[in-house]
Amino acid sequence: QSVLTQPPSASGTPGQRVTISCSGDYSNIGNNYVYWYQQFPGTAPKLLIYKNTQRPSGVPDRFSGSKSGTSASLAISGLRSEDEADYYCAAADDSLSGHAVFGGGTQLTVL
């Protein structure tokens, strides 16, 4: 059971806008930044969003992050087939001596 809760799956059709939620509590999301990773099968994760809303260089602006209270969301607009992957949220958790925790992951299917 992950400290951060994500839906196990999400889906959308090409061109659609999809959002993936990440729910926590005050000790993690409520008091810390949220990060999002994309992972394709058999490969290492890739940083998509840092500090709630920031995109690293090279990440398309189709990907956006937001945070409100103890929840966060990743939105993907103009969905493409190549977006089909697993997505993980992450945050530091003050109840774990400030160490990071990941969500359980959401498998995104592009129909």
Partner 1 sequence: EVQLVQSGREVKKPGESLKISCRISGYRFTSHWIGWVRQRPGQGLEYMGIIFPHDSDVRYSPSFQGQVTISADESSNSVYLQWDGLQASDTAVYYCARHVNYDTSKNPAFDFWGQGTLLLVSS
Span interacting with partner 1, options 13-21, 33-41, 62-70, 73-81, rule CB under 8 A: 33-41
**Residue 17 carries which side chain, given as an amino acid letter?**
R
**Shortest CB 109 distance to partner 1, Å:** 16
Span interacting with partner 1, options 19-27, 41-49, 64-72, 74-82, rule CB under 8 A: 41-49
Beta strand ranges found along 1-111 (DSSP E): 9-12, 18-23, 34-39, 46-49, 63-68, 71-76, 85-92, 100-102, 106-110
13 lies in the site for partner 1, by CB under 8 A: no
105 lies in the site for partner 1, by CB under 8 A: yes
From residue 51, alpha-carbon distances to 29, 65, 81, 91, 100 in Å are 11, 9, 27, 9, 13
In the list 60, 96, 109, 111, the residue contacting partner 1 (rule: CB under 8 A) is: 96
- Residue 29's SS3 state is helix
- Residue 106's SS3 state is strand
In the list 37, 71, 79, 83, the residue contacting partner 1 (rule: CB under 8 A) is: 37
Distance CA 18, CA 30 (A): 23
111 lies in the site for partner 1, by CB under 8 A: no
Tell me which residues touch partner 1 (CB under 8 A).
2, 32-33, 35, 37, 39, 44-47, 50-51, 56, 88, 90-92, 96-105
